Amino acid sequence: MTDLATEILANLVSFDTTSRNSNIPLIEWVEDYLGRHGTASTRTYDPTGRKANLWATIGPKDVAGYVLSGHTDVVPVDGQAWTRNPFELTEENGRLYGRGTTDMKGFLAVCLAKVPDMVAAKLARPIHLCFSHDEEVGCIGVRYALEKIDELAPATPLGCFVGEPTSMQVVVAHKGKHNYRATVTGRPCHSSLAPRGVNAIDAAAELILAIKAIEKRLEREGRRDPLYDIQHSTAHTGTIQGGTILNIVPEACSFVFEFRMLPGDDHKPLEDELRAYARDVIEPWMKAIDPATGIEIELITGMPGFDTAPEEDVVALSKRFAGRNDHAKVAYGTEAGLFVAMAGIPAVVVGPGAIAQAHTPDEWIEKAELDRCGTFIDHLIRHCEIA
Catalytic residues: 73, 135
Contact between 363 and 101 under an 8 Å Cβ cutoff? The reply is yes
Q: How far apart are the first and last CA of the chain?
A: 25
Residue 353 three-state SS: coil
Distance separating alpha carbons of residues 305 and 310, to the nearest angstrom: 16
E runs forming strands in the chain: 41-45, 52-58, 66-71, 90-92, 95-97, 127-132, 159-162, 170-174, 176-185, 234-242, 252-261, 294-303, 306-307, 327-330, 347-349, 364-366
Among residues 182, 177, 202, the alpha carbon closest in space to that of 297 is found at 182
Distance separating alpha carbons of residues 22 and 25, to the nearest angstrom: 8
Distance separating alpha carbons of residues 299 and 294, to the nearest angstrom: 17
Does an H or E element contain 118, and which?
Answer: helix 115-121
Count of CA atoms in the C-beta half-sphere (13 A) of 2:
13
Distance separating alpha carbons of residues 104 and 4, to the nearest angstrom: 17
The number of helices, as runs of H, and strands, as runs of E, in the chain is: 12, 16
Catalogue the long-range contacts made by 51-54 (C-beta closer than 8 Å, 24 or more residues apart): 51/22, 51/23, 51/24, 51/133, 51/134, 51/141, 52/23, 52/24, 52/27, 52/133, 53/130, 53/131, 53/132, 53/133, 53/141, 53/142, 53/144, 53/145, 54/27, 54/30, 54/129, 54/130, 54/131
Residue 120 three-state SS: helix
Residue 105 three-state SS: helix
Q: Residue 264 is which amino acid?
A: G
